[in-house]
Amino acid sequence: MATNAPAKTSFHMTPEEFRNRGHAVVDWIADYYQKIEAFPVLSKVEPGDIRSQLPQEAPAHPEPFEQILADVEKLIVPGITHWQSPNFFAFFPCNASGPAILGDLLSSGFGVQGMLWATSPACTELETHVLDWLVNALGLPEKFRSSNTGGGVIQDTASSSALCAVLAARERATKFISNRTGAKQKLVAYTSNQAHSSIEKAVKIAGVGSENLRLVAVDETLAMRPEALVAAIQQDKAAGSTPFFVCGTVGTTSSNGMDPLDKIGAICRQQNLWFHVDAAMSGTAALCPEFRHFQNGLEHADSYCFNPHKWMFTNFDCDCFYVADRKGLVDTLSVLPEYLRNKATESGAVIDYRDWHVPLGRRFRALKLWFVLRYYGIEGLQFHVREHVRLAQEFAAWVREDKRFELVVPPPLNLVCFRLNGSDELNQKLMDALNRSGDLYLTHTKLNGRVVLRMSIAQTNTEQRHVEKAWRRIREEASRLA
């Protein structure tokens, strides 16, 4: 060993090395997508399998990049559940696409912080602009545009949007006293018993308390019953509580139930309640005018969110959150220490997105959304959304035709809820057998107390042949279980 080797003066990757290594990683990803159907969709590892192959301590000295990339293949891939496989039909989609991944790569490369307008004006302005684009593209109410009283912001998830909506509602209802003295009022929130669990989480975080969240009954389409909402509000008022927040859903997680926003919204206006609409997955469908009727009544909403990272080919994280009154949101979340003061903020001419959500720091997420909107155009996005809906409707027709199966609810869009005639256990067994096979991955829920299988058709690369194969495999396993 050379004893007089010169000491290293940098351990950084040079731009030239980045160029070479970067090409290798891009190639790795391209190869991954070319062979993705060869992997079992659901990872087959057992708890601890991944960790047991990793060294006990962090490496003391640098390791070659080739070795790290080789270990991704060897140690990580077996523990991956392939959300980008066209045979992924579980939960909701979490779609990536080429333009999104590359837009996000540029965001990593710039490495800017968009907490204030001044800390990278393009980061804030592109975000505001692209979210304004989507108001028109989705047929959202004009009040959500930044040129009006509202505006949009990118959050990580619909859970965070729900939290911000609950907080702004809490402050509006209590005239900003909760922020100062604590959430000591007897506030009550409402959503359907099919709503996403993030509403309960938000209500707990905000200090409202889960006992003060009413889970309103639904009708046979699993949509909130407006008269049940009215009754719950009246009961709470009679008990001396203060109703303050209602969340309606466009496309519930379990079954894609569609709450009647027009009726719920009218109730909220009459009762002066904050109306939040969660369209996390299904909101993207509004790109197509023929699916826009599900959001009738959205003009009553105080806030709205949908996730391009679900069905709009924009990789995670990208949740678009809109408010009708941005001042109310900013007043709820703003804290301005001296070290963040700057001329642009004080001029009042700019948006500082740090006041629109929980985190202070924020990355340049609008880039990937901008890339997607331009690369596909509205035309391209509409094409693939329509195709997914067509495939789901076709799958539902096959279920209807096979007497062994039951279509549990008519699918409004791209999520099909069905079950094999028989016990919950039988359906669970069917699902486990399919998932264990690695040929496809689907998940379950409970509707009206029964286990139901969910076929969510919206992965970027899912085509007719994947849905046909899935149905063939489902019938095969059902026969085997019979």
Q: Per CB under 8 A, which of residues 117..176 are in contact with a second copy?
A: 117-123, 125-126, 128-130, 133-134, 136-137, 156-160, 163, 167, 170
Q: Report, in Å, the least distance between residue 401 CB and a second copy.
A: 26
Among 66, 70, 74, 197, binds a second copy (CB under 8 A): 197
Do 80 and 438 contact (CB within 8 A), yes or no? no
- Judged by CB under 8 A, does residue 215 bind a second copy? no
Helix axes 98-110, 366-401, angle to 10 degrees: 150
- What is the side-by-side order of every strand in the sheet holding 319-323? 151-155, 319-323, 303-306, 274-278, 242-249, 187-192, 213-216
39 lies in the binding site for a second copy (CB under 8 A) = no
Q: Is 183 in the site for a second copy (CB under 8 A)?
A: yes
Pick from 350, 399, 413, 415: which binds a second copy (CB under 8 A)? 350
Question: Which of 275, 243, 270, 272 minimizes the C-alpha distance to 259?
Answer: 275
Pick out residues in 51-70 that bind a second copy (CB under 8 A): 51, 54, 57-63, 65, 67-68
Q: Can you say how many angstroms the Cα of residue 38 is from the centroid of all Cα atoms in its chain?
A: 27
For residues 28 and 296, which CB has a smaller minimum distance to a second copy in the complex?
Answer: 28
Helix (H, G, I), strand (E, B) or coil at 406: strand
Q: Which of residues 313-332 bind a second copy (CB under 8 A)?
A: 313, 315-317
Specify the length of the chain in residues. 482
- Confirm or reject binding of residue 427 to a second copy (CB under 8 A): no
254 binds a second copy (CB under 8 A): yes
Q: Of these, 139, 141, 209, 422, which contacts a second copy (CB under 8 A)?
A: 209
Q: How far is the CB of 225 from a second copy (least distance, A)?
A: 20
- Give yes or no for residue 309 binding a second copy (CB under 8 A): yes
Nearest residue (CB) to a second copy, 131 versus 261? 131
Under the binding rule (CB under 8 A), the answer on residue 87 touching a second copy is no
Q: Binding residues for a second copy, how many (CB under 8 A)?
A: 164
Q: Which stretch binds a second copy (CB under 8 A): 43-51, 224-232, 290-298, 468-476?
A: 43-51
Find out whether 276 and 120 touch, Cβ atoms under 8 Å. no
Instruction: Please pick, from the candidates 66, 237, 377, 423, the single residue that binds a second copy as defined by CB under 8 A.
Output: 377
Q: Where are the alpha helices (DSSP H) in 206-250?
A: 226-238
Q: Are 451 and 444 in contact (CB under 8 A)?
A: yes
Q: Which of 279, 288, 373, 457 binds a second copy (CB under 8 A)?
A: 373
| Residue in the structure block whose two tokens are 């938000």 | 202
By DSSP bridging, strand 443-447 and strand 415-420 are unpaired
The answer to whether 397 contacts a second copy (rule: CB under 8 A) is no
Candidate residues 143, 219, 242, 375; the one interacting with a second copy per rule CB under 8 A: 375
To a second copy, the closest distance from the beta carbon of 154 in angstroms equals: 12
Contact in structure between 292 and 131 (CB atoms under 8 Å): no
Which residue in 37, 50, 149, 262 binds a second copy (CB under 8 A)? Answer: 50
Helix (H, G, I), strand (E, B) or coil at 215: strand
Among positions 37, 113, 143, 424, the unique one binding a second copy when judged by CB under 8 A: 113
Token readout for 146 is: 């930044």
Which of 5, 6, 16, 220 is close enough to bind a second copy by CB under 8 A? 16
Helix 158-173 vs helix 326-333: crossing angle, to nearest 10? 90
Based on the shown chain and the rule CB under 8 A, indicate whether residue 108 belongs to the binding site for a second copy.
Answer: yes
- The residue among 268, 257, 246 whose CA lies nearest residue 218 is 257
3-state SS track over 28-82: HHHHHHHCHHHCCCCCCCCCCCCHHHCCCCCCCCCCCHHHHHHHHHHHHHHHCCC
Element spanning 134, H or E = helix 121-137
Specify the stretch interacting with a second copy by CB under 8 A; choose among 102-110, 216-224, 258-266, 472-480: 102-110
Per CB under 8 A, does 240 bind a second copy?
no
Cβ nearer to a second copy, comparing 215 with 230: 215
Asked whether 155 and 305 are in contact (CB, 8 A), the reply is yes
Q: How far is the CB of 468 from a second copy (least distance, A)?
A: 16
